[in-house]
Amino acid sequence: MAKPLILVSNDDGITAPGIRTLVRVAMKVGEVVVVAPDSPQSGMGHAITIGNTLRLDRSIALEDLGVEAYECSGTPADCVKLAKHHVLRDRQPDLVVSGINHGSNSSISVLYSGTMSAAIEAAIEGLPAIGFSLCDYGHGADFSHTEEFVEQIIRQAIENGIPDNTALNVNFPKKSEEPIKGIKVCRQARAKWQEEFDERLDPHNRKYYWMTGSFVNHDKGEDTDEWALVNNYISVVPCQFDMTAHHAIAMLNEDWSF
């Protein structure tokens, strides 16, 4: 029986340590093809390249792992589009995985995340997809404790499937002395970044701004991704690209006059 075909992408770039971990794990399950950005694309959300050229080249960044790999000048969403319609135009991936991101993509961060945009782009294309992220922003972040769970989740996705038009947002707690307690399927917490803009001067005495701020969680529920991560569980949130606020349709039809 042929091995399942797994497409791997990310937003931290093809040389990031997280994608190496994800590729190594995915290779235990299936045949792996990588299409990833040639440079970091964090925070790009679902941006696509329209007004500029896109470049796609074979990459040597992962050649020691023995996988077919390409680096793309565009965004994570561009990478998935090019993979689906060009690199793998004669083949259909059984699964698309993105990450492992260097930093959390829980709660509202899913909207800004290039990691999750690669997964959601795959879902738009009708492909089952998962985005993996580690809640550790440190330079030397340790991804080792994620590996057995990444493999478990990938195998579950291939064997049991993912609902149509859905991408899974998987976040791992930072490695600690306490072992991970397990995996929880959650909802996205109602939380946001409270931004501040630090006004500074460049060497030419011109103003510029540096965005700072802090993450604020207003959600006290114990069924959210934020609760799971704080309590040392892996969070799995099913995400959809239909952003219709269905609950608001009746209100607008009843209370507004057109």
Name the token pair of 52. 């500029």
Angle at 156 between CA 77 and CA 27, to 5 degrees: 65
Q: Is 101 annotated as a binding residue?
A: yes
Three-class DSSP labels, 188-208:
CCCEEEEEEEEEEECCCCCEE
Distance CA 143, CA 207 (A): 39
Q: Is 235 annotated as a binding residue?
A: no
Distance CA 74, CA 133 (A): 21
Distance CA 28, CA 142 (A): 20
Q: Is 38 annotated as a binding residue?
A: no
Torsion sign across C-alpha atoms 105, 109, 113, 118:
positive
- Return the H-helix or E-strand segment holding 37: strand 31-37
Give binding residues as ranges.
Answer: 11-12, 42, 101
Binding-site annotation: residue ranges for a divalent metal cation: 11-12, 42, 101
